Amino acid sequence: MTKRNSGGHSGKGNSGGKGNKAMKYLIKADMKINGNVQRKDIIGAIMGQTEGLLGDDLELRKLQRTARIGHVDVEMDSKGGKVSGQILIPSSMDNVETAIIASSLETIDRVGPCQAKITVSEIQDVRSTKVNAVIDRAKDLLLVMVNSGDAATKTVIEEVRSVLTVGTAKNYHGLTCGPNVESSDSLIIVEGRNDVRNLLNFGVKNAISCDGAGNIKQELIDLANGKENVILAIDGDRGGEMLFRQLNETLKIDFVAQAPVGQEWELLPQKTATKCLSQKLEADKFAANLPAEAESESKDAWLEEDEEEAPAEIHEYFDHIAELKANSAIFVKVDGTITDPIGPRLLAKAAGDADGAIAIVINGAVNDRVLDIASEAAIETVVGTKEGKGFSKRKDVKAWLTEKHA
């Protein structure tokens, strides 16, 4: 039968005003005693065998009198002439002092005449546990406010047409999206799938990716044109503005929410993402604020790339893409042979080990990271489906994309 001592070594020493100190940590130690002992024997061994071990400042009796150490609780179970259980000691000291007190318990090797072994299993941060409880309770209370129709809260919720719980990414005609994109009256269009997942972490369930610049799916156009409000969330760079120009000519956009300069939606913290959404601009105003020359420059750049003809061997590489799973890649070697497919997580390591490789062929977007991997491995050619995050022309790596060159 399990027994618990809710007292300690000395109730009198902790009954004064100093006994109200908030405890920061809880020391948990497992004990095994080869003999039948009582609770008072265990507490006596703790106090007696640690006395003088750590000096006067860390003497347990003194620490209890000043409420820096709380009551020693003992949970014990007697079976077959042996005792096992747990020792619980709350502490209001800092983490270093608490760790020292905890380690001193492991020096106890006897309780009365019986052999004993005490092992510290955990030092629990009581404050962290309380904070987690506060967060969980706050979530419950917030949902009650939303469901009760609080006006101020509903205004925020209606901006994103979402409930404040994390959802799971879905697929809409090949585009990554939140679970509410079809049922919600409003829609948030982002560039890539990681942008959708980041917003889902904040409870925004009506976002959908357009998979960057390129051919925009008709299903996305139809979905956006049927919504009351469409917000385009773009990164804080030139690529984001180029995406706005393309989509603004293709589908309905009511508002634009742009990330801070140089930042991407997939990496924004919740506070920044919420601020960007709340400070969205009407699409016409956003377009009017764009530099006039930026559009002509970007169009000229696209035309130059579109005019470039892919050589015959590149078209052969394009044929390999259809045989690969999404985001998988192969290496083409100088003798024309190809490696086995690998996943995106292994690309960097495989590139470093791929002796004689002259090209990387990937069934996915070519982003800045892929180009860096090719550059570091001295691989001069990368073949993919489209431009990805941070894509830019490189002198040492040539990128060929099926959406432009096939």
User: Does 329 have pLDDT greater than 90?
Assistant: yes
The domain total for the chain is 3
State whether 119 and 174 are in the same domain. no
The count of residues in the chain is 406
How far is Cα 102 from Cα 263, in angstroms, rounded to an integer?
A: 45
Q: Mean pLDDT throughout 260-287?
A: 89
- For the chain, what is the mean pLDDT? 81
State whether 316 and 284 are in the same domain. no
How far is Cα 8 from Cα 37, in angstroms, rounded to an integer?
A: 17
State whether 167 and 274 are in the same domain. yes
Residue type, 18: K
Range of the domain at 249: 159-292
What CATH number does residue 112 fall under? 3.30.70.60
pTM of the model: 0.37
How many C-beta atoms lie closer than 10 Å to residue 349's C-beta?
11
State how far the alpha carbon of 378 is from the alpha carbons of 159, 208, 235, 282, in Å: 48, 36, 30, 46
**pLDDT bucket at 214, cuts 50 / 70 / 90:** low
**pLDDT bucket at 14, cuts 50 / 70 / 90:** very low
User: What is the distance, to the nearest Å, from the Cα of residue 279 to the centroid of all Cα atoms in its chain?
Assistant: 25
Cβ contacts of 368 within 8 Å, gap of 6 or more: 388, 389, 390, 391, 392
**pLDDT bucket at 299, cuts 50 / 70 / 90:** very low
Q: Fill in the DSSP letter of residue 19.
A: G
Q: Which of 44-58, 125-139, 145-159 has the lowest mean pLDDT?
A: 145-159
Residue 91: inside a domain, yes or no? Answer: yes
What CATH number does residue 275 fall under? 3.40.1360.10
State whether 277 and 323 are in the same domain. no
pLDDT at 17: 40
- Residue showing tokens 């942008």: 195
Residue 152: inside a domain, yes or no? Answer: no
State whether 288 and 313 are in the same domain. no
State whether 325 and 287 are in the same domain. no
